[in-house]
Amino acid sequence: MPNLDLVLEGWSVNMDQGRAAFCGVTLIRGSKNILVDVAHVGRRPLLIDSLRRLGLEPSDIDTVVLTHSHWDHILNADVFKNAEFLLHPWEIEYAKAPHPQDWATPEYTWTILERCNIREVQEGDEIDDGVRVILTPGHTRGSISLVVQQGDDSVVVCGDALPNAQTALDECPSLIFWDEDDARASARKILNAAEVLYPGHDRPFRVGGGRVAYIQPPSSLQVTAGVNAMGPPCSLVVAPSEIRAPELQGLAIERKAARRV
């Protein structure tokens, strides 16, 4: 039975100066070491240190699964030189010629990915014992997720097809760059496949009966900004509390502001 470890927790931090998108990175250890998404270069030292705490070097990663080709999920691809990279062919095709208004898939995306050892994967492909690909488009054209068998139960590592607990309750991702109908169908597909989700921008959680329960304790995010050259930097610590489902259901969501391309 494959084991799952959260290498990097996912966060979504929106500011009036831009988006600080920190995607979750998940390690699946079975007959091979599989890394799901690789984050962006601003998290590179943390990514490598986190892998080392789990007893691995980047060279020990056999397979990298990219749930999709957005910048915050792919920019550390060059760290994993020994790995085979798995992508859906629809995502590969789109990465080669993204829509000019798709700010999450810049034109240089394929320049990065074409240097990797890429293998196309399809719906239902088993990439290791108990680890199966499902196609979950909507957030992007070729988004994929992994269903990981855990005894009689399953876990889905779903990237941004359902990026956080709120979107699982809404049954739709908050940002849609491809098609809303596809996104909603993919959300239902994920929720039918498993109760435990490893999302793209949140902690792992269990969902069922209109409620969510996080399966890991809350951590914190420290934001430090140098706002005055004559004084010390300003620092803010964000530490989420355990949020109950009714409060989650009342939170504002971004879908209405999402740009569809």
pLDDT digits 0-9 by tens, 142-156: 999 999 999 889 999
Give pLDDT, residue 14. 85
Is 159's pLDDT higher than 80? yes
Is 256's pLDDT higher than 70? no
pLDDT digits 0-9 by tens, 100-122: 889 999 999 999 999 999 999 99
Least confident of 55-64, 114-123, 124-133, 233-242: 233-242
Give pLDDT, residue 246. 36
Distances (CA, A) of 43 to 74, 77, 102: 11, 12, 23
pLDDT digits 0-9 by tens, 188-203: 999 999 999 999 999 9
**What residue ranges in the chain does DSSP mark as E strands?**
3-8, 11-15, 18-22, 25-29, 33-36, 63-65, 84-87, 117-120, 126-128, 131-135, 144-150, 153-159, 196-199, 205-208, 211-214, 221-225, 234-238
Domains of the chain with CATH codes = 3-257 (3.60.15.10)
Tokens for 1, please give them. 């039975």
Report, in this order, helix, strand and coil percent for the chain, each rounded to 5.
25, 30, 45
Percentage of the chain lying above the pLDDT 70 cut? 90
CA atoms in the 13 A half-sphere facing the CB of 6: 22
Where does the pLDDT of residue 261 fall: very low under 50, low under 70, confident under 90, or very high at 90 and above?
Answer: low
Q: What distance lies between CA 195 and its chain's CA centroid?
A: 17
Give pLDDT, residue 108. 95
Where does the pLDDT of residue 179 fall: very low under 50, low under 70, confident under 90, or very high at 90 and above?
Answer: very high
Where does the pLDDT of residue 250 fall: very low under 50, low under 70, confident under 90, or very high at 90 and above?
Answer: very low
DSSP lists the bridge partners of residue 5 as: 27
Where does the pLDDT of residue 245 fall: very low under 50, low under 70, confident under 90, or very high at 90 and above?
Answer: very low
pTM, two decimals, is 0.90
CA atoms in the 13 A half-sphere facing the CB of 66: 35
pLDDT digits 0-9 by tens, 193-229: 999 999 999 999 999 999 999 998 888 888 888 767 6
